[in-house]
Amino acid sequence: MLLPVNLNVDGGWCVLIGGGESATRKARLLAKANAKLCVLACNDFNASNPELAELVAASQGRAVNWSQEQKSPVELLEKRLVNAHLCVIACEGVGHAMQRKLSAICVKNRIPVNVVDKPELCTFTFPAIVERGSLSVAISTDGKAPVLARQLRSRIEALLPSQYGALVDLAGEYRDRVKSRLTDAVSRRRFWENTLDGPAAEQVFSGNLQTARHIIETELATQDFSKTGEVYLVGAGPGDPELLTLRALRLMQQADVVFYDRLVADDIMELVRRDAQRIYVGKERANHSTPQAEINELLLQYALEGKRVLRLKGGDPFIFGRGGEEIEHLAANGVDFQVVPGITAAAACASYSGIPLTHRDHAQSVRFITGHLKQGQLELSWSELLDEQQTLVFYMGLHAASTISQQLIAHGRSACTPTAIVESGSIPAQRVVVASLEMLPRALEEHNIRSPAVIIIGSVVQLHEKLAWFNTIDKVE
């Protein structure tokens, strides 16, 4: 993956090899960044390409015709690379072998080089760009799928109002004053988040710059942005980042510190604000790296320091997630909090496996049950779990699978009841194993099922053959 950066070429020399349309497109970008253009071409393009000639003249650059100079492109490039900021090779006429030589010269001289449509010869690529005045959004596919980058650019173009450039300029106008008025980074960030996503921004989008300035002046003079922090208890869902709610994503982007557990997928952590402090408080069976009481105190401590604290939990925080204990502690100490539900593992695993938890012909109710062993025992009201018209979903039940199977059968549930084990539900690593209730322990052992996984028991499991869409399902007979 290439490193996305913004390069300052203001007033610097940029070498461009080529005189055709491809070279002209790159010259426009470089000229807009106020670069001086040094164009090396095999012909005199003043007549054939007047736009490129105008761009060179406007940049106070120079054009060199290697035919007239009676020198090879290699000789000219080696001479012109001195003090160059970068080089763009946009001349198909020289052939692939020559392009490779020219690229190698740039690499040898540690000059960033782009060879148009040859990503293997590039040390940097040009992204697709959305521009709104001083605001620019770049989309890159590392040169692998430029058409896709252009398609994404079109979608982003439709999302960003043209007035965003004016909003950027207004922020620049007040930047020094805000820094002087609000001396700590947390207060400044909160001020700008309120400003750039609040009434002042709306006035800018409506063309009312003076009203926007008045709002900013008032807030700077009257608002206190150093108030006590807040805790966001957010359900991260089962693993697929596309299952996050919009509200969850917004809060993930504004948190100062993040507490997360082992069930939160890496792809979801990538969506957290990049400069947020991250603290792992994961818990596994018989290995609680951070006890729950300590987690409760840490959430309180950081909130009282004025931080916006994100408690990110796999699934839904109120379904076997101990979220209730955490906010109970916060409420008792007067700390503000928000709770954002997530898609629980049962719903996601069932959906991705083609198993409806309820169905008119199979199950009129569903029950979520913890299969967590307490002192080696699983104490449940087994007689309440025998209804054939009820789907059972066991969380954390892998180590209690033998007990679940034996007790349900012993209390009267049919040994042939269809059962599905869903491992790593909703992500590409998902595996689904189907067996009878009697064969459940054997299925877990044969397929080496590992946590996280849920066990679904009931006749609805039969429907997986018709409805499964995510991946294949293994059977244990």
Instruction: Tell me the catalytic residues.
Output: 261, 283
Tokens representing 13 are 């020399």
CB atoms within 10 A of CB 328: 10
Say how far apart CA 442 and CA 448 lie, in whole Å. Answer: 10
Cis peptide upstream of residue 199 (ω within 30 degrees of 0): no
Element (H, E) at 31: helix 21-32
CA nearest neighbour of 4 among 168, 126, 149: 126
Q: Is 46 exposed, middle or buried (0-12, 13-18, 19+ CB in 10 A)?
A: middle
Please report how the helices 323-332 and 292-304 are oriented relative to each other, as an axis angle in degrees rounded to 10.
40
Q: Where are the beta strands (DSSP E) in 308-351?
A: 308-313, 336-340
Element (H, E) at 424: none
What are the φ and ψ backbone dihedral angles of 472, each rounded to 5 degrees?
-75, 160
Q: Is 40 exposed, middle or buried (0-12, 13-18, 19+ CB in 10 A)?
A: buried
Element (H, E) at 301: helix 292-304
Output the DSSP codes for 58-103.
HTT-EEEEHHHHT--HHHHHHHHTTTEEEEEE--GGGHHHHHHHHH
Are 169 and 143 in contact by the 8 Å Cβ rule? The answer is: no
CA nearest neighbour of 141 among 151, 153, 149, 129: 149
Which residue bears the tokens 């695993």? 349
Cβ neighbours for 395, distance < 8 A, ≥ 6 positions apart? 319, 320, 345, 346, 368, 369, 370, 371, 372, 454
